[in-house]
Structure 1
Amino acid sequence: MRILLIEDDPQIGDGLNRGLQKLNMAVDWFRDGLQGASALEIAPYDAVVLDLGLPNIDGLEILKQWRSKELDIPVLILTARDAIADRVSGLNHGADDYLCKPFALDEVAARLQALVRRRQGHTSSKLVYGALELDTAAQSATLHGEELSLTAREWTLLQMLVSRPKHIISRAQIEDKLYSWDQEVESNAVEVYIHHLRKKIGNEFIKTRRGLGYQLGEAP
C-alpha cells in the first residue's frame, strides 16, 4: 500500500513516515501543501493522510481541489482542529475519515487499511483464494492453514494480486506500489518477488502475461 503524507510538522511527519513504513507501507512525505497536492496527480496512491494547517495552502483547500477534479482517493484528515464544526466541514468537503491529534500510529494504520478495503469493495479484512487466506489487518497470510513467511514487499505484491484476481497488473504498477520516490528500484526486483511467491505458493499461482504483466492463476 502506497500512502501520500502531507504534514508540515517535522516531528509528527517523521514519526508517521517511519511508523507506516515499518507497517509495510510505502510513504511519500511532503511538508509543503502545494507540492503534496500536485503529487496525487503523478503517482498512484492508495490513500492520503492530510494535515489541515499547512503552509502556502490550507489542507481543506487541497481537498476541495482534488474533489473538484473528481479525484476519489481515500483521504484521512489528521489535524489539531478538533471542533465539531471543523470535523463536519472536512467530511462535507470530501474527507473519508477525520482523526484529531494526538493520535496512535496503530489507529492511523487501521483507519487507512479500512479506507482502502472499502474503496476496493471489500467489507472484511480477510481475502480468500482457494486454500490461501490473507488477513489485511494483521498483514499475514496462510496456505492450507499454515502461516506463510513473507517479506514486506512480497506481502504487498500478494495483496495486490489477490485483491484483484481477474486483473492483469503491469510491472510498472507493481513498482509504483512497492517503492516510494526516494527508494531505488532494482531492474529485476519484480521478477524476483514473483519467483519467491511462486516458490512459496505454487508455480501456477501467478501467470505471466507476456508484454502486459502478471495475473493470478490457479488457486492453491
Structure 2
Amino acid sequence: MKLLLVEDDLDLGNGVRIALADQDLEVVWVRRLDDAMRALDSGLFDMVILDLGLPDGDGLDLLLSLRRNRQRLPVLILSARDSLQDRLQGLDDGADDYLVKPFVLAELLSRVRALARRSYGFNDDMLALRGLALHEPTRRVSVEGRAVELSRCEFDLLALLLKRVDRVITRRLLEEQVLPGGPDNGSNALEVHVSNLRRKIGPGYIRTVRGIGYVIDAQPMAASEARGR
C-alpha cells in the first residue's frame, strides 16, 4: 500500500515515515501543500495522512479539492487542532478519520490498518469485492470460489484496480505500472489485457471511462451496462 504523508514537522514526519515503512508500507513524504498536490497529480496513492497547518496553506484545501473532484481517496487527518468544532469540520469536509496531536504511533498504525480495511477490504493480504478475491502473496484469484488463472500482466492490472476501487486510473498510469515496456504510443496491449481479464473474471467489474482509463466500482454496474463492458 502506498501512502502520501503530508507533514511539515521534520521530527514528527520522519518518525511517522519510519513507523509506516516498518510496516512494509510505501511512503512518500512531503512538507508543503503545493508538493502534496503535485504528488497526487503525478502518482497513485492508496491513502493520504494529512496535517492541516502547512507552511503554504491549509490541508483542508487539499481535502476539499479531492472531494470536489469526486476522488474517494481515504484521508486521515493528523492535527494539533483539537477542538470538537475542528474535528467535526475535518470529518464533514470529507476526512475518513481524525487523529489529534500528540498521538501514540501505535494508535496511528492501528487507524491506518482499520481505514485500509474499511476502504479496500484489505485483510491479511487479501483483496475482495463482490465475489472476486485476489491474494497477492500467492498471486491467486478466484470468482465466487472458482479459481481463475491470470497472466502476470492481468494479475498486476487487476490488483492495481482493486486497490483503488471507485477511482479511475488513467490509461497511461496503468501502462506505466503494468506493461513490461511501459507506454507505447499506438499499442493496444492494455486493451488486450483488459479484454482478456474481463473474459476470465466475468462482466460487471471493470468499467471503461472513455478517453481516460478504467475503474472497478464498489457497487455493481447495471446488467445492461455490464453486458456492454
Q: Same fold (TM over 0.5)?
A: yes
Asked whether 1:158 is paired with 2:145, we answer no
CA displacement, residues 76-123 of structure 1 (integer Å, 9 cap, x when unaligned): 000100000000000000000000011122211211121121112x3x
Partner of residue 151, structure 2: none
* Deviation of 1:37 (Å): 2.1
Aligned to 2:24: 24
Answering whether residue 92 of structure 2 is matched by residue 88 of structure 1, we say: no
**Matched residue type, 1:110:** S
Give, in angstroms, the shift of residue 73 of structure 1.
Answer: 0.5
Over 3 Å counting, the alpha-carbon distance change for 1:102 and 1:159 in structure 2 is farther
Deviation at 1:169, TM superposition (A): 1.9
Quote the sequence identity (%): 38
Number of aligned residue pairs: 157
**Structure 1 residue 55 displacement after superposition:** 1.3
| Aligned counterpart, 1:203 | none
Unpaired runs of at least 5, structure 2: 128-134, 149-153, 165-179, 181-191, 201-229
Aligned to 1:61: 61
SS at structure 2 position matched to 1:4: strand
The reply on whether 1:169 has 2:156 as its aligned counterpart is yes
Amino acid paired to 1:118: R
- Structure 1 residues 155-202: Cα deviation after superposition (integer angstroms, max 9, x where no partner): x9429867999773249959xx9xxxxxxxxxxxxx9xxxxxxxxxxx
Cα deviation per residue 1:8-67 (whole Å; 9 max; x = unaligned)? 000100001111101110000001111112212322211110000001120011111111
Alignment correspondent of 1:47: 47
Question: TM-score under structure 1 normalisation?
Answer: 0.60
- Greater relative CO, 1 or 2 (CA 8 Å, sep 6+): 1
Provide the rounded CA distance (Å) in 2 between the counterparts of 1:163 and 1:24.
Answer: 25
Kept in 2, the 8 Å contact 1:127–1:163? The answer is no
User: What is the 5 A alignment of 1:1-220?
Assistant: 1-120=1-120, 122=121, 125=123, 157-158=136-137, 168-170=155-157, 173=160, 212=193
Moved over 3 A (4+): 124-129, 159-168, 170-174
